[in-house]
């Protein structure tokens, strides 16, 4: 059974800092990995999707990397802003499965 772990569970940083969120998964036979953002009381917003054949994806100040062999992904946020405050969720899709398996999320607070 695929298990997804996110560390840390919560993170508080001052505005302007660069930061890294971590995601690890137990089954390396993934099809893809998605990073989502969730604001309080809201649904999920997809940030980046990395295919199993890719090493990284970039969108603006966000960069996600994938290392299948070690079962790890990182989400790098450059020059953090208070508007980045949210919960960030990592989810993996196994090649044999249809659904996503989610981590428990990292709650990020960027202090002005």
Contact residues: another protein, CB under 8 A: 31-32, 34, 36, 41-46, 49, 51, 89, 91, 93, 98-105
Phi, psi angles (nearest 5°) of residue 76 = -100, 125
CB 22, min distance to another protein, A: 16
Q: For residues 18 and 26, which CB has a smaller minimum distance to another protein in the complex?
A: 26
Euclidean distance between CA atoms 73 and 20, whole angstroms: 10
CB 39, min distance to another protein, A: 10
Name residues whose C-beta falls within 8 Å of residue 32's C-beta, 6 or more positions apart in sequence.
Answer: 49, 50, 51, 52, 92, 93
| First-last CA distance in the chain | 41
Q: For residues 34 and 65, which CB has a smaller minimum distance to another protein in the complex?
A: 34
Q: For residues 22 and 32, which CB has a smaller minimum distance to another protein in the complex?
A: 32
């Amino acid at each position: 059974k695929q298990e997804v772990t996110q560390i840390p569970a919560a993170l508080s940083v001052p505005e302007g800092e660069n930061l890294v969120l971590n995601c690890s998964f137990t089954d390396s036979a993934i099809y893809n990995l998605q990073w989502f953002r969730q604001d309080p009381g809201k649904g999920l917003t997809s940030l980046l999707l990395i295919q199993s054949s890719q090493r990284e994806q970039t969108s603006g100040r966000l960069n996600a990397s994938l290392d299948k062999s070690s079962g790890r992904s990182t989400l790098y946020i450059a020059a953090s802003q208070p508007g980045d405050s949210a919960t960030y969720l990592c989810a993996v899709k196994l090649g044999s499965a249809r659904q996503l398996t989610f981590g428990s999320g990292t709650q990020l607070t960027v202090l002005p």
